[in-house]
């Protein structure tokens, strides 16, 4: 592995940064998007049965939405806007993962082109052959940066898709809960 990184030359730094950013975002989002932090089971059951808990909590997204609901007079649009704000907070950092998915292979491609320029820039006009040392160095740079760029981008793409889908699923569950809260505001025993 060390040899692979050394062969990447200057491109090891930006590729290493991409790898580090992807790892940090994936680990943090996997922790933050646990079901207990978004919509714990008792809130999910309450929303699906149509019962409204008396109070929320600040430890989960559903709890914060309930707290906001219980704060006083507000309309359906305010509650939906607050829910959208909470969903946006769940998506925090995913744009960085999208940047890594796009940037890592492009950095690898830049390394590939640089390696090939090194190879073809050292061709002797007398013999028409490249310098053997420059040839090996250029081909090594080209292949190594391609491998590293793709090996960073592929898992990042998979985790980005998984995390985005997870946010979408939680958003759908929260929307059901918000619709129940709105119905309770407008109903005969509601707060309107």
**Spatial CB neighbours of 76, under 8 Å, sequence gap ≥ 6:** 182, 185, 186
79 is a domain residue: yes
Query: Alpha-carbon Rg of the chain, whole angstroms?
Result: 26
Give the DSSP letter string of 49-86: HT---S---TTSHHHHHHHHHHTS---HHHHHHHHHHH
174 is a domain residue: yes
115 is a domain residue: yes
Q: Which domain holds residue 97?
A: 2-186
What's phi and psi for 164, nearest 5 deg? -65, -45
pLDDT in tens, the chain (192 residues): 777 777 778 899 999 999 999 999 999 999 999 999 999 988 888 877 777 888 888 889 999 999 888 887 778 899 999 999 999 999 999 999 999 999 999 999 999 999 888 888 888 778 878 788 888 888 888 899 999 999 999 999 999 999 999 999 999 999 988 898 888 877 655 554
Number of domains in the chain: 1
Q: What's the distance, Cα to Cα, between the start and end of the chain in Å?
A: 65
191 is a domain residue: no
């Amino acid at each position: 592995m060390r040899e692979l990184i050394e062969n990447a030359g200057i491109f090891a730094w930006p590729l290493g940064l991409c790898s580090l950013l992807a790892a940090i975002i994936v680990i943090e989002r996997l922790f933050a998007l646990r079901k207990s932090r978004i919509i714990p089971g008792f809130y999910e059951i309450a929303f699906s049965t149509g019962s409204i808990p008396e109070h929320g909590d600040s430890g989960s997204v559903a709890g914060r939405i309930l707290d906001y609901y219980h704060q006083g007079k507000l309309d359906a649009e305010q509650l939906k806007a607050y829910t959208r704000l909470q969903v946006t907070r769940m998506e925090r950092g995913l744009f960085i993962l999208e940047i890594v998915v796009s940037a890592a292979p492009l950095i690898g491609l830049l390394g590939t082109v640089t390696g090939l320029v090194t190879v073809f820039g050292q061709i002797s006009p007398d013999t028409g052959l490249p310098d053997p040392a420059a040839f090996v160095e250029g081909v090594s740079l080209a292949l190594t940066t391609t491998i590293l760029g793709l090996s960073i981008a592929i898992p990042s793409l998979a985790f980005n898709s998984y995390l985005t889908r997870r946010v979408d699923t939680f958003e759908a569950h929260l929307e059901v809960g918000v619709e129940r809260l709105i119905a309770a505001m407008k109903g005969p025993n509601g707060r309107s």
